[in-house]
């Protein structure tokens, strides 16, 4: 009888998810998650700052969406950034979820009130975040103390990466309540990418996809390509828009004039760019496009960052390089572009990983498991 009651409760429960903003690349994930909770999933989010260059959305198929309003203190990248989300508690009162998933970021001040609200209603709260790396300096130690207090208010936590999950455990969160959902933006591929010959018909083709910002280090990619031996210098395509485009075009004109800036591409045009390439390179921070490249059977060169890269790029499908290391990037490019047959094998491994491990369906399955296990604990 208790098991029947538990199943009935799970089949009727409502799930809420709080996000600071809702970028368009998250739509596929929430669509998949909604399949686990049909007509029982609601997402609360607000608009990004204009300078963040995030493409927000306000509708998700089969998901109830609630628009809030963000009040910011400093820019989100500032170490003292704080955010207050107007409308969060009103949404909770209307939706009344049994399980709430929040961004595991204590700098979002209204989230603390949301956790307290859930406690009063007897609900569960799960955090979702990148991890808990050590913070340096006196202010860093204070932030770590405050972060630990925030974590203690949660019933479970979902990490983007295995490294992030380990950081949460080291921060004192119970291991059995930590879940790992590898960060993904693309669905599980249903068809193999177009076959490519074992040798380059001409110069190899290198692709970058992302926002054209300084932290992406596209200038390093241009310099690294320009420094390669002539027989290895690739066709380079750069997809994306951003504040650095004019600077990068001027730099390319000086040192690598064959680079092509294709602007922003979506849908079929973006798929065409992935199918065109032999190698995908992300020389700076960020990089959800890496998982899209894997789904198109591309090997990768990616700069190390927050830990998510380590789960995507492995010795069998690419190269991880230290951030801001031009020499390492050049060496990885030279090694990659010197052996087309090996690139094809690495691309096949990328595709296998995208099918079996790194996709939004697998990510949604972990979220659903975390919701059910957290709801069952202490019931």
Residue by residue, pLDDT tens for the chain (379 residues) are: 334 334 335 567 899 999 999 999 999 999 999 999 999 999 999 999 888 878 889 899 999 999 999 999 988 888 788 999 999 999 999 999 999 999 999 899 999 999 999 999 999 999 999 988 877 776 667 777 778 889 999 999 999 999 999 999 998 899 999 999 999 999 999 999 999 999 998 899 999 999 999 999 999 999 999 999 999 999 999 999 999 999 999 999 999 999 999 999 999 999 999 999 999 999 998 778 999 999 999 999 999 887 788 899 999 999 999 999 999 999 999 999 999 999 999 999 999 999 999 999 999 999 999 999 999 986 5
Architecture of the domain delimited by 205-356: 3-Layer(aba) Sandwich (3.40)
Cβ neighbours for 143, distance < 8 A, ≥ 6 positions apart: 135
Residue 21 DSSP SS3: strand
- What is the pLDDT at residue 148? 84
- Say if 2-185+359-376 and 205-356 have the same CATH topology: yes
Nearest to 266 by CA among 75, 12, 25: 25
Give pLDDT, residue 6: 42
- CA atoms of 58 and 190, how far apart (whole Å): 28
Between the CA of residue 126 and those of 103, 147, 227, what are the distances in Å? 9, 15, 48
pLDDT at 11: 60
Q: How many CB atoms lie within 10 A of CB 192?
A: 11
pTM of the model: 0.90
pLDDT for the residue numbered 138: 65
Looking at the structure, give the CATH architecture of the domain made up of residues 2-185+359-376. 3-Layer(aba) Sandwich (3.40)
Q: 168 is written with which tokens? A: 């949460």
d(CA 336, CA 76): 36
- Domains of the chain, by residue range, sit at 2-185+359-376, 205-356
Beta strands in the chain (DSSP E): 15-21, 41-46, 64-67, 69-73, 82-86, 99-103, 124-129, 156-159, 178-180, 205-209, 235-239, 260-263, 279-282, 300-303, 318-321
Look at residues 155, 168, 154, 162 and name the one whose alpha carbon lies nearest to residue 180: 162
Return the pLDDT at 76.
86
């Amino acid at each position: 009888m208790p098991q029947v009651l538990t199943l009935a409760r799970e089949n009727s429960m409502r799930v809420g998810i709080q996000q600071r903003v809702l970028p368009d690349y998250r739509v596929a994930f929430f669509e998949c998650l909604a399949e686990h909770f049909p007509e029982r999933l609601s997402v609360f989010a607000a608009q990004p700052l204009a300078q963040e260059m995030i493409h927000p959305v306000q509708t998700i198929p089969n998901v109830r969406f609630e628009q809030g309003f963000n009040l910011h203190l400093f820019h989100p990248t500032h170490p003292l950034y704080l955010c207050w989300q107007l409308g969060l508690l009103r949404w909770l009162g209307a939706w009344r979820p049994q399980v709430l998933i929040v961004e595991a970021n204590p700098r979002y001040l209204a989230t603390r009130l949301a956790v307290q609200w859930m406690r009063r209603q007897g609900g569960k709260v799960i955090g979702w975040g990148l991890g808990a790396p050590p913070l340096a300096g006196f202010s860093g130690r204070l932030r770590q103390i405050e972060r630990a207090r925030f974590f203690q208010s949660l019933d479970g936590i979902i990490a983007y990466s295995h490294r992030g999950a380990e950081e949460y455990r080291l921060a004192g969160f119970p291991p059995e309540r930590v879940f790992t959902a590898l960060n993904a933006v693309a669905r599980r591929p249903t068809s193999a990418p177009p076959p490519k010959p074992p040798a380059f018909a001409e110069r190899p083709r290198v692709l970058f996809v992302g926002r054209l910002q300084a932290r992406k280090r596209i200038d390093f990619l241009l310099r690294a390509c320009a420094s390669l031996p002539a027989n290895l210098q690739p066709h380079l395509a750069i997809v994306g828009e951003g504040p650095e485009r004019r600077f990068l075009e001027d730099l390319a004109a000086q040192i690598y004039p064959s680079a092509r800036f294709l602007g922003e591409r979506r849908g079929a045009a973006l798929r065409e760019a992935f199918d065109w390439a032999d190698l995908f390179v992300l020389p700076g921070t960020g990089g959800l496009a890496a998982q899209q490249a894997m789904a198109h059977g591309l090997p990768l060169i990616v700069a190390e960052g927050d830990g998510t890269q380590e789960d995507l790029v492995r010795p069998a499908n690419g190269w991880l390089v230290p951030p801001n290391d031009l020499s390492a990037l050049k060496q990885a490019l030279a090694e990659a572009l010197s052996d087309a047959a090996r690139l094809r094998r690495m691309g096949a491994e990328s595709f296998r990983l995208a099918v079996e491990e790194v996709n939004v369906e697998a990510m949604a399955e972990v979220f659903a498991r975390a919701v059910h296990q957290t709801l069952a604990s202490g019931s």
